[in-house]
Amino acid sequence: MNISVVVPLYNEAESLPELVEWNSRVMEENGFSYEIILVDDGSNDESWEVIERLRGSNPNIKGIKFRRNYGKSAALNIGFAEAEGDVVITMDADLQDSPDEIPELYRKITREKYDLVSGWKKKRHDPLSKTLPTKLFNSATRNMSGIHNLHDFNCGLKAYRKDVVKNIEVYGEMHRYIPVLAKWAGFKKIGEQEVEHRPRKYGTTKFGMSRFVNGFLDLLSIFFVGKFGKRPMHFFGSMGVLSFFTGLIITIWLIAEKLIAISQNFKYRNATDQPLFYIALVAIIVGFQLFLTGFVAELVSRNSSERNHYQIEKKTG
């Protein structure tokens, strides 16, 4: 099968018939073998009834329905597990992503050998309250991930080589960071394609400021786990040792200063009378706690079932 289109959706009953018809037309015009996987994330409108009706008239449609709303990341993760196509395309169900972009995305994956191609909605039809936080988010993600060639990490329209979606796990709110997840998994050929951003035709946006805050926290989480997940002692241990020895050096300096003053009959203050002493004491305690945290995290990591799970690209013999 050439293409699997994975569409997470929540309360998008109005847009589904047009979306499916548009995707099917593009696939047939280009001679692609395909499937459209519609993942209903616990909708409380008629989305599932629409999916069942569409499935009755189009055998290329697969429908998955959650019992409740779990979020876009969960919907994508399940869709990725079900996908059988050599190239997996994701898009939102609100018709703001154009299926006409699919042939070029497919070409970049199959002919230019990209692992992942992310859409870039250079010209957006969104209010400033959404576009400004998005720009800040993308800038922070570029700097922290080292993927400097992407302008829009959260664009719903993306194309993946099948190996990519089968070797990453999307959870929480991590759908914003799929390019980062792919990079940490060893898929480094990540590209971008400028795509059309269409005005919303049906329904209302699900975007809120809480998603921006949660997204930034998830970025810190994925950065830490990706960099230190298999070696937490390298982070906590180094920070702990630095803090401990900083406090220790300050304490030794205060004591030495006092002893020198005593030996030369100078006026002196007790070390415990100086605020710097308590700063040093806190640094020693924090350093010790950080080191213990790293030690415990290392024990947890060594007993994890994923401790020796590595991405193997090729194998011979």
How does the average pLDDT of the chain come out, rounded? 86
- Two structure tokens written together for 68: 């409740």
pLDDT score, position 265: 82
Maximum distance among all alpha carbons in the chain?
Answer: 98
pLDDT score, position 274: 83
Q: Could you tell me the CATH superfamily of domain 3-228?
A: Spore Coat Polysaccharide Biosynthesis Protein SpsA; Chain A (3.90.550.10)
pLDDT score, position 266: 81
How far is residue 249's CA from residue 239's CA, in Å, rounded to a whole number?
15
How far is residue 219's CA from residue 243's CA, in Å, rounded to a whole number?
25
Query: How do the pLDDT tens digits run along the chain, 317 residues long?
Result: 999 999 999 999 999 999 999 999 999 999 999 999 999 999 999 999 999 999 999 999 999 999 999 999 999 999 999 999 999 999 999 999 999 999 999 999 999 999 999 999 888 766 666 677 778 878 888 887 889 899 988 899 999 999 999 999 888 778 888 998 899 888 999 999 999 888 777 766 655 556 666 667 777 776 776 666 667 787 888 899 999 999 999 989 888 888 888 888 887 777 778 888 899 999 999 999 998 888 887 777 666 555 545 454 544 45
What residue spans define the domains of the chain?
3-228, 232-302
Q: Select from 78, 87, 83, 72 the least CA-distant residue to 27.
A: 87
Q: Select from 193, 188, 114 the least CA-distant residue to 157.
A: 193
How far is residue 245's CA from residue 248's CA, in Å, rounded to a whole number?
5
User: Burial letters for 225-238: b for 16+ Cβ neighbours within 10 Å, e otherwise?
Assistant: ebebbbebbebbbe
3-9 and 87-90 strand pairing = parallel
pLDDT score, position 316: 46
Query: How far is CA 82 from each of CA 6, 38, 88, 158, rounded to the nearest angstrom?
Result: 9, 11, 11, 17
Q: Select from 178, 32, 187, 184 the least CA-distant residue to 118.
A: 178
